[in-house]
Structures are given as C-alpha cells and as structure tokens.
Chains A and B, each alone.
Chain A
Amino acid sequence: MLLYALRRLIYLVPVAFGVSLLVFGLVHLAPGDPISAIVPPDAPKEVIDKLKEYYGFDKPLPVQYFRWLAVTLTGDFGTSIGTGRSVASEVSSAFGNTIILAIAATTLAFTLAVILGTAAAYAKSRIVDRLVTLISLIGVSVPHFWLAIVLVIIFAVEWGVLPPMGMGPENSTGWRLDRAHLAHMVLPTIALSVIPLGVVTRTVRSTIKETLSMEFVTALQAKGLSDRQILFHVLKNAAPTCLAVMGLQAGNLIGGSILIETVFAWPGTGFLLNSAIFRRDLPILQGTTLVLAGFFMLLNLTVDVIQTMVDPRIKRG
C-alpha cells in the first residue's frame, strides 16, 4: 500500500513539471510583454529596461523558467503587483476561506447524494426514481452562477432572511463559527453544492443499481441476511466507484468556485483570481492557479490511494 502511494507520488513528478510549465506559460500568453501590464504606456525606455532586468524578463525563456521554478519551489511565489503583499500570504488566506466553503458544500452534496441515490436505486415505485433522476439532471444542467443569483433574489432581496454577500458582518476580521458567519455561508454553500449533488447522485444511483443485480446479493438473501445487512454489503461494493467520482467533484468544486465566490463576494481563491485578472496581477494569477492545481493533484492521489484501500480487488501496477 505504502509502496503504491509512493509510486503514485513519483509518477506525479513529470505531471507536476508539465503543470509548472503551463502555469509559467500563462504570463507569456498575455498580450504584450509582462512589463507593459504594470508600467504606464508612456514610461521611458530606460525604466522599462530596468524593470525587465529586475524581474529577469531580459533573459531567454528557459533561463526565466528555471529561475522561476527554483524560487517557487522554496515557497516564494513573488509579490502581488496590485497590493504589494507576498503572493503566498494572499493565496493562503484566500485558500482557507475557499476550503471552509468547500467543506460545507461537499458535506451537503455528498450526504444528500448518497441518500437520494440509494433511495432511487432501491425504490419500488417509479416516481421516486424519476424524481431523483430529475434532481440529478437539474444538478448537472443548471448554470450554478445563475442559481446563485436566483437564491440571492429569493432569500436576500425578496424575503430578506439571509445576507446577499460577504463572508460575515462588516466588522468581521476572519471566519468564526457563529450565527452571523454561518448565515453568510448558507446561500453560497447551496449554490456550490448543486453540481456535485447532480453528478454524485447519478453515480450512486447507477452503481448501487448495478451492484444490486449482482449474484452475491442473491446469495446473501438466500443466506437469510436482513435488508439492512445486505445494504451494508452493497454500499461497501459500490463505494470505490462513488469515491472516485466524489474526489474529482470535490476538486472541481474548489477549483471551480470562482463564479460562486464572485457572485457572493466570498473572499476565497476564486474571488482573488477574478480580481487579479482584472488588475492584470499576473503573479497572483500564477500563484493561485499553481496552488489550486497542486491541491487538485494531491487530492486525486489521495482518492486513488483510499480507493485501493477500500477495495482490495483493485490491483495497480
């Protein structure tokens, strides 16, 4: 098991190398040279040259890349052009806020999805099955940023029962577990959970249905096990497939929360990324993308390892 985890980790190295190349390349995708984003267009040539030298943009690209990589690997992501603060501290504080929201949304989505999916797979009546299928269809089809606006319209504008934006009261300095902060979380959590809810419900339903038709279920029934005991076996067999999808969804939710964070002005990585794009703050754009991609890779790795732990049938070479 440990060997497998280690092998997967080593396998990540070339992928991580590719990811770093792509993230490095982001700056050079930008129109014009990276300096033009921070200096006024009428800046004298000497100033521009000096800045280029300072940032190392006068060196050939491969040299720039390896210098950037060496510095980045020490945890130094550079300085934000917009705020002058270090990118690492900006990203880490935003990342914490994103994680809070992501934990709430994944908990809500996965709990509901397992219950709904199992219910639909077991349902004798077609209505329950149809209803759950409809819910999962809506989940995968709804533009979630639109749903966020609709939630704001209903609960904040029309009924005035929940706050429309922000992470907490105006004088709040950071997230705390209290009534006011929780109230601010309700709408973003719901909006963020619809996609994973739809996808995971679909997976749970089809996987359990498939498992239920397997021969071992009939064997267990013949042995005289109660329905509840059989359900345990079924869930255990369906777990690896569902876990894989859940892991991917959790990662997508964290990386994809940018639209929801923008609607609710939630100060997470998505919000940071969005404001960085409009300030042309390329170091922040690079740093946030790199951190989120790195997190996504580690999450996928963890899910893979857990999957092999849960299901010893999966033998991986």
Chain B
Amino acid sequence: MAIQTPSFELGSPLVQPTAASASRGYWQSVARRLRRDPVTLICAGTLILIVAASLAAPWLGLADPYKTSMIRRLLPLGSPNYLLGTDELGRDMLARLIYGGRLSLFMGVTPVVCALLIGGLLGITAGFLGGRVNMLIMRVMDVFYAFPSVLLAISLSGAMGAGTENTLLSLTLVFIPPVCRVSESVTTQVRGFDFVDAARASGAGTLTIVRVHVLGNVLGPILVYATSLISVAIILAAGLSFLGLGVKPPEPEWGLMLNTLRQAIYVNPVLAALPGVMIFITSICFNLMSDGLRAAMDVKA
C-alpha cells in the first residue's frame, strides 16, 4: 500500500495518431489491444464476478450475514450448510465474505473517484493556468506530500473518529495530492505541444482546448494511474477498518472481519485468514488491470 507518483511521459500515439489507429480511432485500438491480453481479461472477469456477486448478494440464496448463533461459532470450512464455516459470532462466513465486498469495494473505489474529480480538476487548472495559480495549488499539495500516506489517513480518521463517512473523507484527502500532481504534469506537457497553439490560432476557446486537447490526452494516463490507486485504496480502507477506524460492527467488511477474527487464530487459523484473501485477490486484479491498461494505451510511466 504505497502510493507512487509516476512521471508520465506522453507517448507518441496519444499525440499523433499512427496510420493504423487514425482510421479506427484511438480508443478502438486500445480496446483491440485489451482484447488480446489474457491476463487483463482474466483480471477484469474476476473483478466483474466479485462486484456482481456482492451487488446480487441478497438474491443468491445466501444465509443472513448478520444472524448470530452462539452454538455454531467458528465452525471449520466445509461444514454442512456452512461452506466456508462461521465466524466468532456464528455468522455464515460465505455470506459475510460476499456481502463484505459491497462495503470493501465501495470504500476503495469512492475515494479514488472523488480524488479523481477534485484532484484532476485542481491539477488541470494548475497545469493549464500556470504561474501563481499553479504555485498556490502545488505548494498546498506539497504540504500533504510531507506526510507518509498511511500516517495521513490514520491521523485524519483517528481525529475525526470511526465511521464510514469519515474514512471516505480522509482517504479522499490522501488521494487528491497524487492525482493532482500527475494531472498537473501531464497538462503542463500537453500545453507545450504545438497543436494547442494551432488550436488557439484557429480560434478555439480555452474551454474547447481543455475539453478536446487537454482532457483527451490527460484521461489515458490518469485512468491507468487511478486503477492502480484503487488497489492501494482498498488495502488502506481495509486497514483502517482493521484498526477499528473505518466501518463499524456488525457490518460485514473484509478489513473489520480480519480484525474480529484475530481472536480465532488459535482455534481456526484458515478461517481467520479468509477475508484477507479476498482483499489480496481484488488488489492484485486492480494492479494487473492497471498494467494491462498502461500497455494497451501505450502510456509510459
């Protein structure tokens, strides 16, 4: 769970469409390359499966994920009626793992999306306007960069208190600076290209230039970066819940489940490790997706 800020160099296909992609369009050629990449396809499939299962959880005929049972606590994997056993309060693990995906994914994806909107807007503004505005925005970001990301997330949520909203807020704050920095650097690069001058010379307004030329070129690198950030965000959100700073019990959430099941490591160790496996799989898939997208979009990081 380490946020890295890559320095993106815009590859030539983004700027000057090559002969092959000019006829098809850039995004079409990206999609074509993605379809030929088995690893990315498998990861996308796995993620779709996890998301679909957690969304459709109420209709999958699962047990009630909140129903406790004092006589059926910590049943091992493969018990009759309880395929993945039961947790420390006798709740069905399979149901809780699948329902848990709802909050875990939501808490991982939402901060990145919010940071993408806010940080992207700030970064593009800073990069496009330059000068004092750039100075002001980027120096404020430097303050956030003075904190190790995990420390910032934990101190903010720690001060604000546990709860889903506070976790979302603090994670968003953690992800705004890196997104802002990446979009600023890409925008500054784009602004220096001749086609922006050409567009301006032919009468395009600032908004048109931002929409067509800046956004068109910034979107790719930012998307690649955001996909890898989701992986970090899911681990970080689970980590906060693991510390008791995120989701509150009895909600099913993978990080919180890892925490409450820690007391069971002497009784049923495999069971205690299960929620972490879900976090691990999801996070690996997002990382591999990011690599695949980067290759398909030909973004150099």
Contact = CB atoms under 8 A, between A and B. Distances in A.
Interface stretch (A152-160, A167-175, A222-230): A152-160
Given A26-B159, A141-B231, A146-B258, A15 B142 contact: yes
B158 A285 contact: yes
A22 interface: yes
Contact of B149 (A30, A146, A252, A262): A252
Given A15-B139, A143-B239, A285 B155 contact: yes
A144 B151 contact: no
A243 B139 CA distance: 24
A146 B288 CA distance: 20
Given A26-B155, A256-B1, A274-B243, A140 B265 contact: no
A249 B161 CA distance: 28
Interface string A238-263: 00000001001101101110110010
B159 A149 contact: no
Interface string B106-122: 00000000000000000
A142 B156 contact: no
Given A255-B147, A262-B243, A296-B148, A146 B273 contact: yes
Given A137-B288, A146-B280, A285-B155, A18 B265 contact: no
Contacts of B265: 149, 152-153, 157
Given A137-B284, A297-B146, A149 B258 contact: yes
Contacts of A289: 147, 151, 155
B132 to A, nearest CB: 15
Contact of A143 (B147, B150, B276, B288): B276
A27 interface: yes
A14 interface: yes
B22 interface: no
A29 B161 CA distance: 9
B239 A145 contact: yes
B114 to A, nearest CB: 18
Main secondary structure of the interface of A (DSSP, over half): helix
Nearest to A27: B159
B185 interface: no
A128 interface: no
B276 A153 contact: no
B159 A29 contact: yes
A293 interface: yes
A285 B275 CA distance: 29
A99 B71 CA distance: 46
Contact of A258 (B243, B284, B287): B243
A249 B148 CA distance: 9
Contacts of A196: 2
Contacts of A297: 146
A186 interface: no
A38 B215 CA distance: 50
Contacts of B147: 19, 22, 255, 289, 292-293, 296
A208 interface: no
Nearest to B273: A150
A149 B158 CA distance: 23
A149 B146 contact: no
A282 interface: yes
A147 B160 CA distance: 28
Interface in B265-301: 265-266, 269, 272-273, 275-276, 279-280, 283-284, 287-288
Given A153-B269, A195-B2, A274-B243, A252 B150 contact: yes
A296 B154 CA distance: 16
A199 B2 contact: yes
B4 interface: yes
Contact of B2 (A149, A249, A274): A249
A77 to B, nearest CB: 15
Contact of B151 (A27, A143, A199, A258): A258
Contact of B287 (A29, A141, A277): A141
A256 B146 contact: no
A252 B178 CA distance: 14
Nearest to B161: A31
Interface string B213-253: 00000000000000000010001001100111100000000
A18 B2 contact: no
A278 interface: yes
Given A152-B265, A199-B2, A292 B151 contact: yes
Interface string A18-51: 1101110011011100000000000000000000
A141 B279 CA distance: 9
A94 interface: no
A245 B301 CA distance: 14
A234 interface: no
29 contacts: A19-B146, A22-B143, A23-B155, A26-B159, A27-B159, A29-B156, A137-B287, A140-B287, A141-B284, A141-B287, A142-B283, A143-B283, A146-B276, A150-B273, A152-B265, A252-B150, A256-B2, A256-B148, A258-B150, A258-B151, A273-B154, A273-B155, A273-B158, A274-B154, A277-B245, A285-B158, A296-B147, A297-B146, A300-B146
Given A256-B151, A296-B151, 12 more contacts: A16-B146, A29-B160, A30-B161, A143-B255, A143-B283, A146-B275, A248-B2, A252-B148, A255-B151, A292-B147, A296-B146, A300-B146
